Chains A and B, each alone.
Chain A
Amino acid sequence: MGIDSLIARYREILDESPLDQVAEWKAKHPGTKVVGCYPVYSPVELIHAAGMLPVGIVGGGNRLEIAHADSRFQSFVCSIVKSTLELAMVDKLAFLDGIVFHSICDPARNLGSVYKRNFPRLMVEYIHFAQNLTSPHTIDYLTAEYRRLMTSYEQLAGKPITDDALRQSIRIYNEQRQLLRELYAIRAEKPQNLSTLESYILTRIGTLMPPDEHIAILKEALAGIRQRDERPKDRIKVVLEGSFCEQPPLELIEGLEAAGCYILDDDFLLGWRWFPADVPAEGDPVRNLAESYLHQSVYSGVKHDTRERKSKHLIDKVKETGAAAVLILAAKFCEPALFDYALYRQALEKAGIPHLYLEFEEKMWIFDKARTEVETFVESMLFD
């Protein structure tokens, strides 16, 4: 299959009903348990090593009508929290045997409890990631937390997680993440050869299937993309930040680039690309995962790392990619993204890097306003 038709096929799945993809998989593998992972990060290796399928539960998209969840959450709660509850309430998550949340913000934290109370058939887990990353006990703490989580997964799977199985899962997800890094490297170097939307589709589809299937797709896609040799267009190069949890609609991602920019890097689906280098498989695999979280995971609005400023990472990213500006694309009512924006704004202004702040909701249909704002921003740089 050609690269264009490959991507078009997966776009159709994401456009129509991505979760049906998992439901179909489950129907074919009735003996295998499926565990949903709510953003941002989840150590999927622990689920996979128990012989279960980890899948991304990343909201309901813009085709899900919110009929029940609005009465459970306040009006100032972001869309992804409501749509994720709605999905379960309208029985769209029947294929799930469990779901795991973590401490990203208050609404997400409470969503875990709401799930626990309302859907007793599901195993609902909650990861307490270390909040203090400078303590000498952080690794011990997180390793213990992962082991606690493993006990829960073992119960659900009905079998123990062996170190060898975990090492094998780490290797598989290392390969998947490496291939995703290659997609991003192409975008940073020759964005004309791979649009942000295309790379997003190729990443997102992997949250809905076993990693080995995704690896095969990525290899095929990368081979096709490497054949491309497009002429670069007169666009400004930007880095996008702020969409690490709730995901913007595909049309919005497409529109941002069509408005006159190349997005060289972004933080979409960040948890699935959490490590910029491989997690070591040898030795104690649980401890390795904990150490990787502490020492080599990406910066994010939901990881409170006082060792280095997040704004420094953002500015470094701009410099390393050679971008000329930053697009902050934050979900409406997303507190972590808004808190970060205050810091980013100051740092970007100080560094003389232009930026544009945009707000989105997963359930949006009209993109004219965002597009006009990006076009104006691009024009302010092009007509200078």
Chain B
Amino acid sequence: MIFAAGIDMGAKLTKAVILDGERRVVAKSSVRTRPDFAAIAQEVLDLALQQAGLKQTDVNYIATTGFGRYNVPFRDIQITDITCVARGAVFLFPKTRCVLDIGAQSTRALRISETGKVLEFRTNDKCAAGAGGFIERAAKYLEVTIEQVGDLSMQADKPQTISSVCAVLAESEIINHVSAGESVENILRGVHISLASRALALLKRAGLEEEVTFVGGVAHQKGMVKALEETLKKKVNVSDQPEMVGALGAALLALKRLEKVRLERPGTTQAGELSAAAS
């Protein structure tokens, strides 16, 4: 049996997915990203290997993605997170034609083909106003945990408007709402609506089509999914672990590359040999 792994080094979490040759997920793991990228990638892979009962030498190909993708010395190939989430999303929801990826620091809107090829994409500007980091800051200010945000936002009855496009200015708006006695729930929904409207703008620029799959850690927040569906005026696909879609896509592309290399060089099984072939 052959195995391929995808490691996604995100701004907040580092995730790993191991697939077998039949494209079945045999292990998933995640750890908090720390400055030592090489060590953290090893740690997350070790966790997944342990779960699958495999040794690292059993894994024939490793693809890395995310902003730390170049910092993993034992990788065979690095692929951007945009390419990876597209492949992951279409694998989970085959009718996906648009992907919205909101992570801790970045938001991406993609239009993709039926095979998961990226046709068009748009990313947020350098500031984090449209990404998960903004929600975290808002949560910290409102003294709730990030895990509570999604459910609290669902309880809003009078969502407040957060109109600033800048995270720092938006914080001032949040302070004003708090001073005016608005509830935490209504403010959080306002934050979600603000993010959803920015996501809509990005999706429109990439070309909004049926179906939309929402991935990335922020897709865990129910209030965000609701705000997005209301803004887009349609249902969106969300998987159980939306933060793992990038790592899944990396593993799928690793497997694809592995199959290609094995066709070109029959008998090649080990990652080391394949690295040379892939480089």
Contact partners of A375 in chain B: CB under 8 A: 79-80, 83
B82 touches A383 (CB 8 A): no
Residues of B within 8 A of A369 (CB): 123, 126
A131 adjacent to chain B (CB < 8 Å): no
The verdict on A368 contacting B67 (CB below 8 Å), with A376-B118, A383-B117 known, is: yes
Q: Which residue of A lies closest to B79 (CB)?
A: A379
Residue A380 is within 8 A (CB to CB) of chain B in the complex: yes
Answer whether residue A373 sits at the interface, using C-beta atoms and an 8 A cutoff.
Answer: yes
Report B30-51 residues with CB < 8 Å from chain A CB: none
CB contact list, A202-219 vs B, under 8 A: none
Q: Which residues of B lie under 8 Å from residue A368 when comparing CB positions?
A: 67
Interface size on A, residues (CB 8 A): 12
Indicate if the CB atoms of A384 and B117 lie closer than 8 Å: yes
Instruction: Check B80–A379 contact: CB distance below 8 A.
Output: yes
Contact with A along B108-128 (1 / 0, CB 8 A): 000000000111010100100
Residues of B134-171 at the interface with A, using a CB-CB cut-off of 8 Å, are none
The smallest C-beta distance from A299 to any residue of chain B, in angstroms, reads 26
8 Å CB interface, B44-93 against A: 67, 79-83
Query: How far is the CB of A39 from the nearest CB of chain B, in Å?
Result: 26
Interface check A372, CB cutoff 8 A: yes
Let me know if A1 is at the binding interface, CB within 8 A: no
Would you call B253 an interface residue if the criterion is a C-beta within 8 Å of the partner chain's C-beta atoms? yes
Output the least CB separation between A232 and chain B (Å). Answer: 14
Chain B residues in 8 Å Cβ range of A376:
80, 82-83, 118, 121
Query: How many B residues are at the interface, by size bracket?
Result: 10 to 19
Selected contact of A380 from candidates B81, B83, B123, B126, CB within 8 Å: B83
A373 touches B79 (CB 8 A): no
Known: A368-B67, A376-B118. A383 touches B83 (CB 8 A): yes
Q: Is B95's beta carbon under 8 Å from chain A? A: no
A366 CB-CB contact with B under 8 Å: yes
Known: A380-B117, A380-B118, A383-B117. A372 touches B80 (CB 8 A): yes
With A373-B121, A383-B117 given, is the CB distance from A366 to B83 under 8 Å? no
Contacts of A384 in B (CB 8 A): 117
The CA of A101 and the CA of B256, in the complex, are separated in Å by 54
Which residues of chain A are near B119, meaning CB under 8 Å? 380
Q: How far is the CA of A369 from the CA of B126 in the complex (A)?
A: 8
Contact in complex: B256, A383 (CB < 8 Å): yes
Please give me the residue from chain A that is nearest to B260 by CB atom: A383
CA of A373 to CA of B119 in the docked complex: distance in angstroms?
12
Chain B residue with minimal CB distance to A380? Answer: B118
**Closest approach, in angstroms, between the C-beta of B257 and any C-beta of chain A?**
8
Which of B79, B123, B126, B253 meets A366, CB within 8 Å? Answer: B126
Measured CA separation A372–B110 after assembly (Å): 14
Q: Shortest CB–CB separation between residue A110 and chain B, in angstroms?
A: 27
As a 0/1 sequence over residues 216 to 231 of chain B, the CB contacts with chain A under 8 angstroms (1 = contact) are 0000000000000000
Query: Which A residues lie within 8 Å of B83 (CB)?
Result: 375-376, 379-380, 383
Q: How far is the CA of A366 from the CA of B126 in the complex (A)?
A: 9
* Closest CB in chain B relative to A86 CB, distance in Å: 22
Q: In whole angstroms, what is the CA distance A380 to B111 when docked?
A: 12
Q: Interface centre among B83, B117, B119, B126, by most A CB within 10 Å? A: B83
Complexed CA–CA distance, A369 and B123 (Å) = 8
Contact A372 B126 (CB under 8 A): no
Residues of A within 8 A of B81 (CB): 372
Judge whether A372 and B82 touch: CB under 8 Å.
Answer: yes
Closest B residue to A366 using CB positions: B126
Contact with B along A357-379 (1 / 0, CB 8 A): 00000000010110011011101
Residues of A within 8 A of B117 (CB): 380, 383-384
Contact with A along B242-253 (1 / 0, CB 8 A): 000000000001
Q: Are B253 and A383 in contact (CB under 8 A)?
A: yes
Closest CB in chain A relative to B194 CB, distance in Å: 22
Minimum CB distance partner of B119 in chain A: A380
Q: CA A368 – CA B11 in complex, angstroms?
A: 13
**A54 CB to nearest B CB, Å:** 37
Q: Contact at A373–B123, with CB atoms within 8 Å?
A: yes
**Which of A366, A369, A376, A384 counts the most chain B CB atoms within 10 A?**
A376
Point out the residues of chain B lying under 8 angstroms from A366, CB to CB. 126
Q: List 27 A-B contacts (CB under 8 A).
A: A366-B126, A369-B123, A369-B126, A372-B80, A372-B81, A372-B82, A372-B123, A373-B82, A373-B121, A373-B123, A375-B79, A375-B80, A375-B83, A376-B80, A376-B118, A377-B118, A379-B79, A379-B80, A379-B83, A379-B118, A380-B83, A380-B117, A380-B118, A383-B83, A383-B117, A383-B253, A384-B117
Closest 6 CB pairs of A and B: A376-B82, A379-B83, A380-B118, A376-B80, A375-B80, A372-B80
Other CB < 8 Å A-B pairs besides A372-B82, A377-B118, 4 of them?
A366-B126, A372-B80, A380-B117, A380-B118
Interface residues in chain A, defined as those with a beta carbon under 8 Å from any beta carbon in chain B: 366, 368-369, 372-373, 375-377, 379-380, 383-384
Binding site for A on B (CB under 8 A): 67, 79-83, 117-119, 121, 123, 126, 253, 256
